[in-house]
Amino acid sequence: MATELANPQTDRSSLSAEGQVFEISKAVTFEAAHYMGGKPEGHPYRAIHGHSFRLEATVAGIVKPGEQWVEDLGHLAECLNATAAKLDHRLLNEIGGLEVPTLERLCLWAAADLKPHLPGLTGVAIARPSLNERCELVLERG
C-alpha cells in the first residue's frame, strides 16, 4: 500500500514510515579469476580468466523504532565489503563452496556469508557489468 499525500507540498505529516515495508540495497565491486573445469579442451571457459564483479545485497523490513531506517547503510556497506574482501583478487575455484564458480553459486556463497550479519537479507545479486550479465538470488522474508 503506497503512501498518498493529499498535497505533496504541504502534507508532510502523512510521510510516516510506521508499518511500511522498505527494501534497501547497496553494492560493492571486486575483481576475481575463475575457470570452469569439466569443459572440453579448447573451450574458452576452461582457461583461467578474470572478471570485474558487482556484489549487491538487498535488506527488507520495517523501519527500526527510533532509527527511521530499515538498516544502517554504513553497516550494510561494511558487511558487503567484508564479503567482497574474501573474494577480491582470488582464484574463486580455490574458495570452499566455489569449486564451480558460476554466478548462481556465487550468489549462494555470498548470501551464506552475509545472512548472519544481516537478518533482513532478502536478495543477493552478482553481476559482471562488462558482459551485461547478472544473477539474483531471491530469499524468503522473515
Q: pLDDT value at position 69? A: 87
Instruction: Label residues 81-104 b or e (16+ Cβ within 10 Å = b).
Output: eebbeebeebebbebeebeebebe
Determine contact, residues 5/14, Cβ cutoff 8 Å.
yes
Residue identified by cell 554504513 is: 74
Alpha-carbon radius of gyration of the chain: 19
Which residue type is seen at 32? Answer: A
Instruction: Label residues 56-74 b or e (16+ Cβ within 10 Å = b).
Output: bbbbbbebeeeeeebbeee
Q: pLDDT value at position 40? A: 84
Distance, CA of 115 to CA of 136 (rounded, Å): 15
pLDDT at 128 over 70: yes
SS3 77: helix
pLDDT at 6 over 70: no
Tell me the pLDDT tens digit for each residue of 67-119: 788 899 999 999 999 999 999 999 999 999 999 999 999 999 999 999 999 99
